[in-house]
Amino acid sequence: MKKGENSRKDKFLRNFPQLTLGDADSDIALRCKFNFSYFDNNQECATDIAVWDEQNLRELFTKLKAFSAKPLQYWQQQCVGSGSHRQHMLEIYGAFPRKSGFSHPPHVPSDVDWARFRLDGKKRLIGFTIPKSYCRQDSRLDDNTFYIVFLDLEHNFYQR
């Protein structure tokens, strides 16, 4: 080891975070957020996370991690499937669907934009976003947060 070198110090400094929130290339404000405070597993079609096995939970959190790397608007533009089965990863419906296996929970505000994330197969993550018009009026509100209300394993939320 040369004079002035300190391998422990150098290793520590290499592992020290280099980014700050103020960096020009920080994308933390763009990343979407998930909020579970409106989660409702009391309806007949709703699934409780407690009954999921380890594999399903692992898949859910892997998807949440991937989804949270980009803004909600990005996921509205991403599609999966082909032909007539092509769907957006995130679909924002607006009003609660008239034909649904679920009912609008009384603890969820009436003027939110209902939406769903496609997980896989029939599995859907159901929730809402705050309309952009409200966010422009009140800076405390965030239109890049997805409020999770239901886990829908059988595609019962938006029935055709």
Q: What residues does each domain of the chain span?
A: 30-152
Say how far apart CA 3 and CA 1 lie, in whole Å.
7
Among 155, 156, 22, CA closest to 100: 156
pTM of the model: 0.85
Give the least confident one: 26-30, 40-44, 126-130, 140-144: 26-30
Q: Who contacts 119 (Cβ-Cβ below 8 Å, separation ≥6)?
A: 59, 60, 63, 125
> What is the percent of the chain where pLDDT is above 70?
95
Residue 31 token pair: 């990343």
DSSP assignment, residue 25? Answer: T
Q: Tens of pLDDT along 28-59?
A: 889 999 999 999 999 999 988 888 889 999 99
Is the model more confident about 159 or about 2? Answer: 159
What Rg do the C-alpha atoms of the chain give, in angstroms? 20
Residue 150 token pair: 């239901």
Residue 124 CB-half CA count within 13 A: 27
Among 109, 102, 123, CA closest to 42: 102
Supply the pLDDT for residue 5.
Answer: 66
